[in-house]
Chain A
Amino acid sequence: MTDNPFVDSGDPIPLLQVDRLGVRLPTGRRSFVQAVRSVGLTVRAGERVGIVGESGSGKSVTVKAISGLLPESPLVGIEGSIRLAGQELVGAGRAAWQDVRAKRIGMIFQDPSSYLNPTMRVGAQVRESLLAGRGSGRGADETYRFLELAGLPDAREVAERYPFELSGGMRQRILIAIALAKQPELIIADEPTTALDATVQRQVLRSLDESVDALDTALLLITHDLAVVAGLCDRVYVMYRGEVVESGTTEQIFLEPQHEYTKELLRCVRSLSDDSTDLYVSSYGAR
């Protein structure tokens, strides 16, 4: 890893290049809030990048803009540039966005209890993603493969279930499987374990880790938990109040934080354990 992660080390065009992104959201009939101010970030193919920040920092809105999941209202304003493998997405038409969502970017959402259709079998929900991403003709076996990849070994049985029959951890794995099934170039995970119990979080993150590895996809991970970042990400962006205040490799951020806010974040994490290096290495294994 070179010192400056922004110097290119192989591919000429990064997978995802975001520059000066700004997002304005309506908060009433006539009022707005600038949720994201001028954000720039880069993700290379196969890379794992984390975005950390507290609630309200704009990290969720940023990734929603990237994946095209902001509300489709004319009141929502997006400016700046979002380029996926060179293709400019801001201002692109509906068909272009639909294509991106179907095939190139997979999204893992935060709350497994509300992000799954309660009246549809989970297998069908995964298959839907599969078919949208790769076209028709795929059998049920493909679905089982992605369920297993996401960490659900009894895929055949689980696929027949409805969300209410599964535990929180299993449901989150379904969401992971949905993102994997389209075999995207980039997976965005928006706080994938926040809604889960602490003991389950680790297992689910491991499943995420392994499946992203297996598919060799790039990962953009949103979290407020620095310990998660430590275990999973190569590079980190720190966001605060709609802007990126610091960025660097995971090592740099943890050992040489520059910005006050980053330092504050680290202080909170450190206070949970005596030795900060311990936490950095963490039980996910050194990367």
Chain B
Amino acid sequence: MTEIAESTPSAPRTQSVTTAAAGPGRQSSARVFFSSPSTIVLLAVLFAMVVFSFLGPLVSQSPSDTGFTVLSPPNGANLAGTDSLGRDLLSRLMIGGQVSLFVGAAVAVICLTVAVTIGGLAGFYGGVADAVLSRVSEFFQVIPGIILALVAVAMLGASLPLIIVILSLTMWPGVARIVRAECMRIAELGYVESSRAAGFRPLRILWSDVLPNAFPPVLVATTMTIGRAILAESSLAFLGLGDANAPSWGALLYEAQAYMQSAWWLTVFPGVAIFIVVLAANLLGDRLNDSLNPTLSRVK
């Protein structure tokens, strides 16, 4: 099956990130990227959500205070309404944000680390790392990671560390594939050969020459991973598999189901929060991808 897939320009399960030009072109891409108004807006949105989640609780109600009227719609005291236990939804959204954002970031960081290591070795050296990576990523391309994660969390118990580990396990191959492709591409370029000829040890070449240039597409893949991780965690939480002590936005939606008809705010707000963050992350990844690959090829 992979034999056929390799002989055509087939798209990987992760976003089809095309490779970037290494070298001097990169500086100007960074400038283009950061100067674009849409990028600034997106970064601002993400930053705002982080501030909301982590600094918001300093100025809002306590999330566990059940003193408010049960199931009341958004009003002066409770900007997002209250839930079935009389808790202020807005402050619960903040706490939920801490969990969701943390999971997204943690999974992305872990994926990045593992992917860079294994993908870099695979792309540069080939051999065992390459074989392992190919098998594993093929596996996760076919079997949806979310199902495995679902089953694993269900059977092993839903705790935040476990969820993060399992989600990372299912998502790193996608990023690693991109790292590998980039390393292979860069290894073909001239200046790696000259470093090799100059006698630098391969590992050092990998670290100082290859990986930094592989960085941009890998950054794009990592950004996309954040969005996917947040969505995956929300799905798990929605099915009751979130960490009970760390309710994320998904967990809020889990609680909201019974009140779909009577309390729309319980369903709408957490979902909007997820949507905004994931959308911003994905759009950022797209912008980043576009700025690395000027779409002049569209001029036809």
Contact = CB atoms under 8 A, between A and B. Distances in A.
**Do chains A and B make direct contact within the complex (CB under 8 angstroms)?**
yes
Interface in A64-78: 71-73, 75-76
A28 interface: yes
A65 to B, nearest CB: 15
B contact patch SS: loop
A72 B296 CA distance: 12
Contacts of A71: 299-300
Contacts of A27: 296
Contacts of A29: 294
A contact patch SS: loop
A40 interface: no
Contacts, number: 13
A73 B299 contact: yes
Interface string B276-300: 0000000000000000001010011
Contacts of B296: 26-28
A28 B31 CA distance: 14
Size class of the contact patch on chain A: under 10
Contacts of A72: 300
A28 B300 contact: no
B100 to A, nearest CB: 36
Nearest to A28: B294
A195 to B, nearest CB: 19
Contacts of A76: 299
A270 to B, nearest CB: 31
Contacts of A26: 296, 299
B71 to A, nearest CB: 53
Interface string A52-72: 000000000000000000011
Interface string B251-291: 00000000000000000000000000000000000000000
Contacts of B300: 71-73
A30 to B, nearest CB: 11
A168 B152 CA distance: 53
Interface in A21-42: 26-29
A75 B299 CA distance: 9
Interface string A227-266: 0000000000000000000000000000000000000000
Nearest to B295: A29
B250 to A, nearest CB: 40
A114 to B, nearest CB: 13
A75 B296 CA distance: 11
B7 to A, nearest CB: 9
Nearest to A76: B299
Nearest to A27: B296
Contacts of B299: 26, 71, 73, 75-76
B283 to A, nearest CB: 19
Interface string B67-84: 000000000000000000
A287 B299 CA distance: 42
A10 B173 CA distance: 71
Nearest to B298: A73
A29 B32 CA distance: 11
Contacts of A73: 299-300
A120 to B, nearest CB: 15
Contacts of A28: 294, 296
A44 B296 CA distance: 36
Q: Which 9 A-B pairs have the closest CB atoms?
A: A73-B299, A71-B299, A71-B300, A28-B294, A26-B299, A75-B299, A72-B300, A26-B296, A28-B296
Interface of B: 294, 296, 299-300
13 contacts: A26-B296, A26-B299, A27-B296, A28-B294, A28-B296, A29-B294, A71-B299, A71-B300, A72-B300, A73-B299, A73-B300, A75-B299, A76-B299
Given A26-B296, A27-B296, A29-B294, 10 more contacts: A26-B299, A28-B294, A28-B296, A71-B299, A71-B300, A72-B300, A73-B299, A73-B300, A75-B299, A76-B299
